[in-house]
Amino acid sequence: MSNTVVKVENLVKKYKELTAVDQLNLEIKEGEVFGLLGPNGCGKTTTISCILSLLAFDEGKIEVFGKEMTPVSYDLKSMIGIVPQNMAVFDELNVYENVDCFCGMYIADQATRKQYVDEALDFVGLNDFRKFRPKKLSGGLARRLNIACGIAHKPKLIIFDEPTVAVDPQSRNKILEGIVDLNKQGATVIYTSHYMEEVEQICSRIVIMDHGKKIAEGTSDELKRTIKNTETIFIEMDEPAASLTEKMKTLANVSDVSWKEGKLVIACTGGRHNLIDIMEILQAEKVQFGRVWSELPTLNDVFLTITGKELRD
Amino acid sequence: MFWNTMKYEIRRNFRTKEVIIWMILFPVVLGTLYKFTLGNLGKANLYSTVPAAVVENEKDQLFHWIMDAMNNGSTTDKTDAESSIGGKPLMNLTYTDEANAIEMLKNGEVKGIIYIDPPDEKSEPDPQNQKMSEVMDMVNRMAADGSLAKYIDDENNNYVSYFMNDSGNGNFVSDTKLSLTIKSNGSDQSMLKRMSDMYVSMQQSSREMVASAFNGGAGEGFDNISKAMSSDVPYIKELELTKGDTDSFLIYMYNLIAMVGIFGSMSGLTIAQNLQANLSDQAARRSCSGMPKIKQVLAELLAFYLSHSICVIIAVTYITLALRVNFGDRLPLVYLGGILGGIMGVSFGYFVGAIGKMSYGAKSGIIMALNMTLCFMSGLMVPGIKAMIIKYIPILNEINPVAVISDSFYYLSVDADLTRFWGKMVMICIITLFFVLFGFLMTRRTKYASL
Ligand SMILES: Nc1ncnc2c1ncn2[C@@H]1O[C@H](COP(=O)(O)OP(=O)(O)OP(=O)(O)O)[C@@H](O)[C@H]1O
Ligand SMILES: [Mg+2]
């Protein structure tokens, strides 16, 4: 059994009337890439700020590395790296100075610090931009600087709060790969995002949040298994006769058949050869059709099934 | 940890445009202007006020500001009537249109016309001014709802009016072209000529200074400023100033140094911004670090004290070496008073910045208004106020930071015995301690209800 790095028990945080985090329980184990997934405003950043003891909360208990986290837990804080959602660097300092400035709040020894800062700049690929001021960096590069400032001191726990907001797909992939690397080097990672693809791609365990509450938890596969739909088949065709849809519904694994926007959507609840059965019916009925494809469920479907709304607006 | 944080804070300070402008450029420019206009005029009360018309084909706030400062705000209306100095404006400017100005020149109502024309080519608006303009918008809004109104009415109040007027176009360094028309030659006319020449050369050198400071990149800004400053010196020497270190002139210089001290409050305002997680993302990030809060506060305060002291040292050194102002054997005390006054100013800013969760813009507005109120109460704007305060609420004059600085310099210039001066120095330390203590009590907290 690996150690618990972060333990959040019954966390409640209210902003006046609004309950931003509601009876939240989290347990993050050493070596995990833990994903906190949820739509905008569901309370991810608030949860992170509570874990970091920046925010006072109304109820609950938070432990980090087995000890209660307080604003003066400097020993715990020095083991944490934080990549905040908003850019938090100094405009007056260049790239190198920024990383050195923040790293210097953890690492006193100059030689070690220089090495760490160099490594961090290498890691995020900002070596060619050392002398640039943040304002002169592109959005994606600036994000990478934000990351370098949070990881240079080689923390054991790194918290990324939506580090890929406003980043193009290429840079985004680099960032995600980097996070996996950091994890391989031994860091425990908390990763928040409202992009389900990202979370699916890198997280070993995921908690889905909505309105401050935890609504599901598990690995990506575990989460998808919780929903009945295992496959959705799409067939491009004209609106079919009622008899055809009825016939398809009699198939053992088909739970629902509907026609919208020029395609027939067939929801399947299990089994492996649904497509073959469906094609047989289409041929028997001599129906004309265009493209045919099948989609596996996503975390969006999980979210949709639990909350009745899309994860993305 | 500690030194590294301090080092970067100092670096950041000297790369901040406002710091360069208000703490370095301002005293250098204004001091030079004083020197050229007052330094060789002999006793201040011997010259007569020169009437002149100004035709503004282009709005130039720098001009307004400098002229206002020259003619009104910086006079030393000491209400305790210990001095008979100052008070009299150098020029009496009428802002009017061209036709009227020519008429006035013909009638002899004015001795000359100063034309302010648009620059040859419009330069790009500087994005660095953006932030400052936001602050100024805030001040403007306060003015609109009346909270600042009573000060703005006061013509003597040079820097509020500078801010007020400058907020919109926000250019600290103007690009306008100045030309002068005079009817015949005379001493008044040559005085006008000298003024406008001075202005043009100031305009030029300040523009160069800012440009070099901000294009210089890492660490060079500061060097460039000092280079630009030293390259000014030959020009100044060329003019062969007549000796004229009159009392009034010294008091202008003293007031200038005091003003730099009070400006410390504007930079001190950013200290809380740098420390409190609910005020900036950078501070939130710092609050997550393993560096204890008390160390952060101390590093921050020391860095700001040091940066500001450097600015004061530059100002005083420039005034004594480049401008050849003779403070005599009081020079070390001028440095001391300036530095301590600056430290108090910075602490004042820190204290105000630590109060409540308001935007930086709002706090800038508040600190401006507070400075104005304090200047007002120390009699720097309206003579008589100070006497009234001394009569009815004497304690107020003792603890008013602006009054304490300006009084201490005043004593330095008129007292043979320095007891009163040292008394003020002690008071400055006490006030500083108060601000730091309460500032710390407010920034000590590390957990917030909302970020
Ligand atoms: N300082 C604050 N004062 C009042 N309400 C706040 C404050 N900060 C956040 N909230 C509210 O709390 C809720 C949770 O906000 P939070 O920032 O934690 O969301 P999030 O999951 O991080 O969203 P996003 O994906 O947009 O970053 C939101 O409804 C938000 O409006
Ligand atoms: Mg967030």
pLDDT band for A302, please (50, 70, 90 cuts).
confident
pLDDT: which is higher, A297 or A20: A20
The pLDDT value given to residue B154? 40
**3-state SS assignment for residue B313:** helix
The pLDDT value given to residue B76? 39
pLDDT: which is higher, B84 or B128: B128
Q: How far is the CA of B205 from the centre of ligand 2 (A)?
A: 47
d(CA B283, CA B277): 5
pLDDT band for B157, please (50, 70, 90 cuts).
very low
The pLDDT value given to residue A27? 94
Interchain proximity B281–A87, CB inside 8 Å:
yes
B287 chain-A contacts, CB cut-off 8 A? 52, 54, 71
The pLDDT value given to residue B385? 77
pLDDT of B156 strictly over 50: no
pLDDT band for A87, please (50, 70, 90 cuts).
very high
d(CA A133, CA A91): 6
The first and second tokens of residue B302, run together, are 């020391």
pLDDT band for B70, please (50, 70, 90 cuts).
low
pLDDT: which is higher, A166 or A32: A32
Chain mean pLDDT for chain B? 72
Contact (Cβ atoms closer than 8 angstroms) between residue A108 and residue B1: yes
d(CA B299, CA B19): 19
The pLDDT value given to residue B240? 27
Q: Assess A97–B contact: CB distance below 8 Å, yes or no.
A: yes
Nearest to B281 among A80, A86, A108 (CB): A86
Radius of gyration of chain A (CA): 24
Mean of the pLDDT values across residues B97-121?
79
pLDDT band for B62, please (50, 70, 90 cuts).
low
Q: Where are the alpha helices (DSSP H) in B318-418?
A: 331-354, 360-377, 385-392, 394-399, 401-414
Nearest to B288 among A54, A72, A101 (CB): A54
pTM of the model: 0.72
pLDDT of B133 strictly over 90: no
Q: How far is the CA of A303 from the centre of ligand 1 (A)?
A: 20
The first and second tokens of residue A148, run together, are 């370098």
pLDDT digits (tens, 9 = 90+) for A156-208: 999 999 998 878 888 888 889 999 999 999 999 999 998 888 898 899 999 99
pLDDT: which is higher, A190 or A285: A190
A56 chain-B contacts, CB cut-off 8 A? 447-449
d(CA B179, CA B55): 10
pLDDT digits (tens, 9 = 90+) for B242-259: 333 345 677 778 878 888
pLDDT digits (tens, 9 = 90+) for A235-284: 999 888 888 888 888 888 888 888 888 899 888 887 677 888 888 888 88
Q: Where are the alpha helices (DSSP H) in A125-238?
A: 139-151, 169-184, 196-202, 220-225
Q: Which residue of B has its CA nearest to A48?
A: B288
pLDDT digits (tens, 9 = 90+) for B240-299: 223 333 456 777 788 788 888 888 998 899 999 999 998 999 999 999 999 999 999 999
Amino acid letter for position B162: Y
d(CA A173, CA A266): 33
The β-bridge partners of A125 are none
pLDDT of B152 strictly over 60: no
Enumerate domains of chain A plus CATH numbers: 4-224 (3.40.50.300), 231-296 (3.30.70.1340)
Mean of the pLDDT values across residues B121-139?
49
The pLDDT value given to residue B283? 94
The pLDDT value given to residue A166? 75
Amino acid letter for position B265: S
pLDDT digits (tens, 9 = 90+) for A224-241: 888 777 788 899 998 888
The β-bridge partners of A7 are A27, A63
pLDDT of B82 strictly over 50: no
C-alpha dihedral sign at B134, B376, B245, B324:
negative
Query: Chain B: which residues have CB within 8 Å of chain A?
Result: 1, 4-5, 8, 11-12, 15-16, 217-218, 277, 280-282, 284-293, 445-451
pLDDT digits (tens, 9 = 90+) for A99-154: 999 999 999 999 999 999 999 999 998 999 999 999 999 888 999 999 999 999 99
Contact (Cβ atoms closer than 8 angstroms) between residue A75 and residue B290: yes
**Given the structure tokens 């494809």, which residue do they identify?**
A293
pLDDT: which is higher, A210 or B386: A210
pLDDT digits (tens, 9 = 90+) for B195-222: 666 666 556 555 554 444 444 433 343 3
What is the biggest distance separating any 2 CA atoms in chain A, rounded to whole angstroms? 78
Chain mean pLDDT for chain A? 90
Total Cβ atoms within 10 A of residue A9:
14
Mean of the pLDDT values across residues B300-315?
94
- Is B201 exposed, middle or buried, given 0-12, 13-18 or 19+ CB atoms closer than 10 A? middle
The pLDDT value given to residue B237? 27
B446 chain-A contacts, CB cut-off 8 A? 53-54, 71-72
**3-state SS assignment for residue A161:** strand
